[in-house]
Chains A and B, each alone.
Chain A
């Protein structure tokens, strides 16, 4: 097990394994996505309060989950980089950042599209929306820092530190924003009381979440392969490809 893990850490090995997995991941992702979308858009009944427009939840919620999940993944990579100086972790961290930023952006866009029919406005300074927006800035900070540093090994360590600092701060930011919102009870947006969700809606939601997970791994593998080739372009194993 440990040996397998150790081997996975070597760039050529990872490059090959990822290449083998990508077609499979493609298929699994496509099946899950189709099942989730069919279940969510066709089978699930309309909501008794929100009618059809609630269906955006099947994209919005998984995207929001992914935005947090990817940040945590990046922080774990950051810890691995600081402790073991593993090259592959650097590649995974920096390849994850644009994907995570896209999911965060997707969650924001779908959230505001959903907000228009529900709350009557595209944007409210709701606690969750605001902390999601700040999360987007954290992602962009990581990408920006990585781009600004020319030496990629140094850049890897820099973003590792930044990701760790960020992950310590995310809960603090989230709860401060939540508290701030409860203090400024200005234009009150009464969110519908969340009814315990029915399984006919929950199942497609989970399927979509799983599909998004697979999409993340898929996109990550592809980006990692490109990044590995770019970083290791002077080594022998790349020449032999």
Chain B
């Protein structure tokens, strides 16, 4: 490592490293996905399998399950790096930590958020959601789950140094997830009942831009606090 990496190189390098690590460790990263499917399976069992009911609450169920799955997977953003010390090296690097954090969050989303996109249509079909709502559901997942990862990264960065951070993490992060949940679920519901969901989608996109621009800074500050 005698030559210096540019910021873009460092970003891509970190992204590739994290993706590679995830690829070597497939079983661990499949868990949130499995959890997502399992939680959704519980709802028809608890509420009864009447098709009208399920179709009506499908957007809400899918989104709550996505929220929980995202939260469950959050810990892996920084945990292993914190344990083996590479997080300290990242913080010591010459590049802005916020950008490197963004790379890590991107990698995390590609590994945990994107797969939800693949199983969601299947589950929506099983719950009897109207097929014209499917594109909207996918779009909300595509736009909404990165926001979950970005906000969650702040919470993980705050709790990564703690031994029993898991339960605190949910207390910190879930209230901040409320806006995403509201707009994503109501967009899907609008689409399912034949209304125009574009307003909610725009709001979700606004959340995405807002959290991309601000959350890495807060995460970087929190990481410095946790590691020092």
Contacts and interface: CB of A to CB of B under 8 A. Distances in A.
Contacts of A188: none
Interface in B74-121: none
Interface in B43-98: none
B179 A148 contact: no
A154 interface: yes
A158 interface: yes
A176 B225 contact: no
A183 interface: yes
B179 A176 contact: yes
Nearest to A157: B225
B212 interface: no
Interface residues of A, number: 28
B171 A137 contact: yes
B126 interface: no
A172 B179 contact: yes
B178 A168 contact: no
A19 B207 CA distance: 46
A157 B175 CA distance: 20
B168 A176 contact: no
A176 B158 contact: no
Nearest to B165: A148
A8 interface: no
Contacts of A196: none
Nearest to B225: A157
A169 interface: yes
Interface residues of B, number: 27
A164 interface: yes
Contacts of A180: 182, 186
B205 interface: no
A165 interface: yes
Contacts of A176: 178-179, 182-183, 203
B87 to A, nearest CB: 15
Interface in A147-185: 148-149, 154, 157-158, 161-162, 164-166, 168-169, 172-173, 176-177, 179-180, 183-184
Interface stretch (B11-19, B25-33, B214-222): B214-222
B178 A158 contact: no
Contacts of A148: 159, 162, 164-165, 168
A165 B228 contact: no
Given A161-B225, A162-B172, A134 B178 contact: yes
A194 B125 CA distance: 46
Interface in A174-213: 176-177, 179-180, 183-184
Nearest to B221: A161
Contacts of A184: 186
Contacts of A134: 175, 178
Interface string A219-238: 00000000000000000000
Interface string A80-113: 0010000000000000000000000000000000
B139 interface: no
Contacts of B222: 158, 161
Interface in B187-208: 203, 207
A177 B172 CA distance: 18
B174 interface: yes
Given A148-B162, A165-B154, A165-B218, A173 B172 contact: no
B7 interface: no
26 contacts: A82-B221, A134-B178, A137-B171, A137-B175, A141-B171, A144-B168, A145-B158, A145-B168, A148-B159, A148-B162, A154-B161, A154-B225, A161-B158, A161-B221, A161-B225, A162-B158, A164-B218, A165-B154, A172-B179, A173-B179, A176-B178, A176-B203, A177-B178, A177-B182, A179-B182, A180-B186
Interface of B: 154, 158-159, 161-162, 164-165, 168, 171-172, 174-176, 178-179, 182-183, 186, 203, 207, 214, 218, 221-222, 225-226, 228
